[in-house]
Amino acid sequence: MGQQMQDQMDRLMQLGLQQNGVDGAVYYFTGEESGNYLATSENASAAADVYMEAATGGYKLYVLKGGVKTYITIEKNTSSNGKTYYNPKLRTAAEMTPSVWKLNKQYKYMTTIHDDGTEVVMGTYSTYTTISCSKSSFISDPSVIGVSQ
């Protein structure tokens, strides 16, 4: 198969994270939302098939729901206390413009740029086991990635 044809095909993967705040357990994205986060399971067999669709500047990530591409996008929300949050959501292209993600190979995390220009990183923190998104500026010291972020 020629490289040009290969580049046009969507690539399949499973998305997971290692939660060092919970004895280093690995959690896999299940293809569902859990409130303002993406749901996970420690059971690898519950992992959703996630596809990487080539896009200018990176990849759009999606799962198939009823045969429809449902993208991992970022939704900006402001809480009643005035704080701004960037929440991962599953949306079709008709509902919301899909986010374009890049892999930071050095630190092994995914980032995207929200429409407002904010770089957002996909991961988790503390002892949470869901996948959340935060401003990448919260990663002030790359040496603590995988330790306390």
- Residue 51's pLDDT band, with cuts at 50, 70 and 90, is very high
Alpha carbon distance 145, 60 (integer Å): 24
What is the residue-averaged pLDDT of the chain?
86
Alpha carbon distance 41, 105 (integer Å): 24
Model pLDDT for residues 122-134, shown as the tens digit of each residue: 988 888 999 999 8
Alpha carbon distance 124, 22 (integer Å): 11
Alpha carbon distance 125, 100 (integer Å): 22
Q: What is the DSSP letter of 142?
A: G
Among 62, 110, 116, 52, which Cα is nearest to 85's?
A: 116
Give the pLDDT confidence score for residue 4 in this predicted structure: 43
Among 63, 70, 128, which Cα is nearest to 98's?
A: 70
According to DSSP, the β-strands at 109-113 and 68-78 are unpaired
Degrees, nearest 5: CA angle 71-34-45? 75
- Residue 1's pLDDT band, with cuts at 50, 70 and 90, is very low
72/18: higher pLDDT: 72
- Residue 146's pLDDT band, with cuts at 50, 70 and 90, is low
**If you average pLDDT over residues 46-70, what whole number do you get?**
95
Model pLDDT for residues 31-42, shown as the tens digit of each residue: 999 999 999 999
CA distances from 28 to 60, 123, 134, 135 (A): 18, 12, 19, 22
